[in-house]
Structure 1
Amino acid sequence: MRAAGQSYRAFVFDLDGTIIDSAPALQAIAATFLARHDREPLSLEQTKAFIGDGSRVFFRRMLAARDLDAADDFEQRYAAFQGDYAAGSPHDNRLFPNAGEALATLAEAGIAMALCTNKPERPTRIVLDALGLAPIFGAVVTGDTLPETKPHPGPLLHAIAELGGATGEALFVGDSEVDARTAVAAGVDFAFHEAGYARERDGIRPVTRFNDWSDFAAFARRHALAATG
């Protein structure tokens, strides 16, 4: 954690649990898959607990929670789940209150922003387009951009490099212990969205924490170096 007066040239954001509340949409997608296998749907709390480590890990956790053995046909079942995912409405993913306005305000101020998510590229692009967020980000790094996913530092470092930034002038904004570990591994300051899906909070040491996106926008304006600055 750096000094309170630190300024940032690059802001990188997680997606699920940080910008969008995707848990209800994922719960519905999971329910569609599980119904075909005569299994009960996941609860909303289970769904939130399974988010954060990528689509494959979510799927494995879902199978384990409903005693579905996919050792022999995992890829086939995962492809079916991805089909359910693609068929779902992207509008079921909701922006957290004030998130869209905050991001638009920061973009208008010339602040360089990127996305770094473990969600696969196709659903990420669909959601960004549906919610009008695609033009905001100068770089989008997804769960299949690189061989590694968060908490490996590679995706975050790649996003920062795509913005032309340096780790000492970057801030990563996320909602989970996975995001916090990613920031530590990359040597990047971390901002914690407390209204997200974190399972473990005790070890998270952010430079700032927020529930309301308006509060984060105010923090970012105070600590931002504009892309042209």
Structure 2
Amino acid sequence: MVAFDKCETRPAHIEAILNGLDRYNPETTTVFQDYVALQCEDRTFDCYANLALLKLFQFNPHLIQPDTVTNILAKALTVFPSPAFSLCLALLPTSTQPFPTTSEAQSASQTSDFVESVQKLTRLSTLLESAQYAQFWSTLNSDDLYADLTADVAGFEELVRIRIAVEVGNTFRSITAENLESWLDVRSRDALNKFVVDVCGWKVDGDVIRVPTNKENEARSEVKSEHVGIEQFGRVIRRGFELPA
């Protein structure tokens, strides 16, 4: 497993900032923001760097750039079921949280477009984490604001579709084409078959999709045994004859 703070595609100047005192320098926010834009363009994701930027925003609220924050959250959706989205969300102001705990937060949540954007992305995250994939796509397509929030993330739908396929492949050995169509939001059977074969490497068997065995979906029997020594029984029996104090 790759260490949380590592990213193979991280530029050298970002690495230098993260490993030095400049990661706490408010002037580096513009550098991190440019890096977020680069991640959106080239389909990479650097959670550690993004969290560093959100931490700077937390320390310097006047520097917050809503578009950058929502881009970070949208990118985090493309790497579910990792904890990236929750980690990012935890660094945002209280007023943006799905369940404001104070009257001030509730008031802010009713008036801020930024708060509405964060909560809509949180809704998408909840649907993905709970494996409600069909509901995720219908929600995504139900409001133009969702399209605006994910517009800067190149290949957003494709990246999410691949992550859903990975989760399906880790869970099922076979699945009906109809169900998979709704989970991947694929509009035609031909498109589904192409995705299944070319991208996933699975097999199409009529109306059923066959997933090759892997270490996650393989059915394995697990036999557990315990060794209990006679001396352990002896202690139990001895206590039974001990007189109460």
In the superposition, the TM-score normalised over structure 1's length comes to 0.25
| Higher-RCO chain (CA-CA 8 Å, sequence separation at least 6) | 1
Q: Which entry has the higher C-alpha Rg, 1 or 2?
A: 2
In the superposition, the TM-score normalised over structure 2's length comes to 0.24
Larger helix percent: 2
Larger strand percent: 1
